[in-house]
Structure 1
Amino acid sequence: MAAGKFDFAAWAPNHQTQHIDPIVESSLKYLKGELGVKKVAAVGYCFGAKYVARYLKDGQVDVGFNAHPSFVTHEELAAIKGPLSIAAAEIDSIFTTQLRHESEDILIKTGQPWQINLYSGVSHGFAVRADLSNPHFKWAKEQAFCQAVAWFRQYL
């Protein structure tokens, strides 16, 4: 795939919840059953954020971190049963300012620990595909990673 040539419309039909849920469920079953893992932390960048929210439930995922989340429904967010941290970009056409504020209202009602850190001057995808030659972009990417590590240290 050439840079910037991703065909989302062709990719999306094979990456709906009915395709992804079984993968997540079998992975959790393997981790907890076969490996005996006691606690699971989940990280979701963009597309993966939806599945962190969907599985942040008792007996599944214990603590979650999302960066520049995409396509998380209000219902999925409202149903979380564990701590969730979000790294948000100031410039984001998917996790918009309005959606970020709506998410804050929803998270407050969950009664779970949560945080949303807003990174100025960066856009959607900053935590994975930042231009590392730009000192501010590099700093924001690194800080989002540190945010996740600190969150997991606190809640695992």
Structure 2
Amino acid sequence: MADHGVATRAPESDAHESATPGESSDERGPAMSEHCTTDRPTPSGETPRGEIRLLGGIDIYLTKPESYPSNPSKLLLLLTGGTGLKSTNNQIQADKFASEGYVVVMPDLFDGDPAPNSAAVPESETLVTSFLDTFKLKAAETAKSFLLDMWMARHAEEKVMPILEKVIHACKGEFADAVGNGGGIYAVGYCIGGRYVLLLAGERIDSHTSWTGAQKQPDEEAGEGQGPTKKGPYIKAGALAHATLVSPEDFLGLKSPVSLVCVEHDPVFPDEIRIAGEDAMSKSNLEHEVQVYPGVPHGFAVVGDYDDVNIKEAQLTAHEQMLKWLNEH
């Protein structure tokens, strides 16, 4: 289902439309938004209250309800965009879920290497007055695209999924009470992290090939034979906002119910991919919901300050949508 009345068009929604007039999205380089790699200003007066520590050999941000472990809680993975583990806004986002009764584990998906800052050039600097100014601006944009390409190559699925598998295994040990209380692990994801919610919600064929492509030896004690085995789903339910780098194939094999927060006419999560995903989920009878938010920029659901009241309200609505889905599953 889609809701086209959540917000109205605002000037800040143009922040992600950084292409030169006449330039297509395919010509802009990688399918990444500035909002995936750059934080908005942190809302005044808000500071993180969790801690960064190791879990399963992976750096995580851990935040818990004040009443935990006295009162039962559930275990939630929060998967970030390119701004990563040390982003103050991401940490505050995790705290918001913790205040609602979740033990939140936010893993460092990028092994200490967040995306290069690709903040949009301030408007005052885009008023070029000469061919040389135009050339310099284009060169800077090309350099940003190149850095993002290199960064994405360093943090492909083959690198990120093993990190998640380690964290999930460790969560089942250290936070067995929370995992058991929720009947499994829940997950929310934003931007790049949104795609990994889909991957964790799916059932995949494991042909005994590691994520790096190396052939693995079957574990005879675990009952593994020579043929392919199934892996996943890893989560009980998931919610994702303005996902990035998603392909239609990522919706195949989904087994866990998912809720999607989408941006209308999102250049990095195009309508055709969203529609293909909705069709795939409907055909497989997967429980799901899709809400489309007009007039907001990609990345709007992550904690961050906006001047436009409509974007602020949409941000709250998106959080409530994701939280309600988790609570109901």
**Could you tell me the TM-score, scaled by structure 1's length?**
0.89
Contact 2:233 2:256 in 1 (8 A): no
Q: Report how many aligned residue pairs link the two structures.
A: 155
Q: Paired residue for 1:78? A: 252
User: In structure 1, the residue corresponding to 2:243 is in which secondary structure?
Assistant: coil
Contact 1:91 1:121 in 2 (8 A): no
Aligned-pair distance for 1:3? 6.5
Tell me how far apart the structure 2 counterparts of residues 13 and 3 of structure 1 sit (CA, whole Å).
Answer: 16
2:179 matched to 1:45?
Answer: no
Q: Paired residue for 2:200? A: 55
Contact 1:68 1:87 in 2 (8 A): yes
| Percent pairwise identity | 30
Tell me how far apart the structure 2 counterparts of residues 35 and 2 of structure 1 sit (CA, whole Å).
Answer: 34
Q: Paired residue for 2:148? A: 8
Q: Deviations over 1:102-129 (max 9, x none)?
A: 1110110221210110101112111126
Tell me how far apart the structure 1 counterparts of residues 256 and 118 of structure 2 sit (CA, whole Å).
Answer: 36
Aligned-pair distance for 1:9? 2.0
From 117, 123, 127, the counterpart of 2:297: 123
Ranges of 4+ aligned residues in structure 1 off by more than 6 Å: none
Tell me how far apart the structure 2 counterparts of residues 89 and 130 of structure 1 sit (CA, whole Å).
Answer: 16
Summarize the Cα distance change of 1:109–1:90 in structure 2 as closer, same or farther, 3 Å threshold: same
Contact 2:195 2:245 in 1 (8 A): yes
Tell me how far apart the structure 2 counterparts of residues 45 and 12 of structure 1 sit (CA, whole Å).
Answer: 16
Aligned-pair distance for 1:31? 1.0
Aligned-pair distance for 1:100? 1.5
2:303 matched to 1:114?
Answer: no
Q: Deviations over 1:123-149 (max 9, x none)?
A: 211112655221011111111111110
Tell me how far apart the structure 2 counterparts of residues 66 and 115 of structure 1 sit (CA, whole Å).
Answer: 11
Tell me how far apart the structure 1 counterparts of residues 155 and 315 of structure 2 sit (CA, whole Å).
Answer: 26
**Could you tell me the TM-score, scaled by structure 2's length?**
0.44
| Structure 2 segments unaligned to the other structure (5+ residues) | 1-115, 121-143, 203-231
Summarize the Cα distance change of 1:95–1:67 in structure 2 as closer, same or farther, 3 Å threshold: same
| Structure 1 segments unaligned to the other structure (5+ residues) | none
Moved more, 30-39 or 16-25: 30-39
Bigger helix fraction: 1
Amino acid at match of 1:12: M
Tell me how far apart the structure 1 counterparts of residues 156 and 324 of structure 2 sit (CA, whole Å).
Answer: 31
Between structure 1 and structure 2, the one with the greater Rg is 2
Q: CA RMSD in A?
A: 1.9
Summarize the Cα distance change of 1:150–1:129 in structure 2 as closer, same or farther, 3 Å threshold: closer
Contact 1:86 1:115 in 2 (8 A): yes
Q: Deviations over 1:16-75 (max 9, x none)?
A: 011101110001101113321232111110101121111114551110111011122322
Tell me how far apart the structure 2 counterparts of residues 109 and 94 of structure 1 sit (CA, whole Å).
Answer: 24
Summarize the Cα distance change of 1:3–1:133 in structure 2 as closer, same or farther, 3 Å threshold: farther
Summarize the Cα distance change of 1:31–1:3 in structure 2 as closer, same or farther, 3 Å threshold: same
